[in-house]
Amino acid sequence: MRPFLDPELVRGRWLHAYEEDEPGQKVFRRATHPLPPARRRTGFEFHPDGRMSALGGGPDDRTLVTEGRWSVDLQGLLTIRPPGGSAEVLHVLEIDDDRLVVKA
């Protein structure tokens, strides 16, 4: 059973902590969490007004930002909608103040 997904917990900047991934799971940590340095670390920033920034690594190691929209539902689904692209649904398995785990 997926958790109730409180939008307040989702808001903010999350970085992929691939060091903590497990089979079938991707782990994200708040940007304030001490992660080891890594090239091209990806992530998301979920803004309170429903805007979303996808953070990806560029060819010169600078962060590339793609804007879009996000929403949540009560069944633990987090939907990301990039402009002009297909929606991506993340199945949230766990979330707390510092850790977000989604189905890989």
1 domain-assigned = no
Mean pLDDT of 86-99: 94
**Contact call for residues 62 and 70 (beta carbons, < 8 A):** no
**Contact call for residues 56 and 63 (beta carbons, < 8 A):** yes
Instruction: For residue 37, name the pLDDT band (cuts at 50, 70, 90).
Output: confident
95 domain-assigned = yes
Mean pLDDT of 68-75: 90
What separation in angstroms does the CA of 38 have from each of 18, 52, 67, 70, 72?
A: 10, 22, 23, 26, 29
68 domain-assigned = yes
Work out how many domains the chain is built from and give that number. 1
pLDDT score at 3: 55
2 domain-assigned = no
pLDDT in tens, 6-35: 899 999 999 999 999 999 999 999 999 999
Q: Which domain holds residue 70?
A: 7-103
Residues making up the chain, counted from first to last: 104
**Contact call for residues 50 and 67 (beta carbons, < 8 A):** no
**What is the 8-class DSSP label of residue 87?**
-
**What is the 8-class DSSP label of residue 20?**
G
Query: Is the per-residue pLDDT at 60 higher than 80?
Result: no
43 domain-assigned = yes
14 domain-assigned = yes
36 domain-assigned = yes
pLDDT score at 56: 87
46 domain-assigned = yes
Kindly report the CATH number assigned to the domain that includes residue 16.
Answer: 2.40.128.280
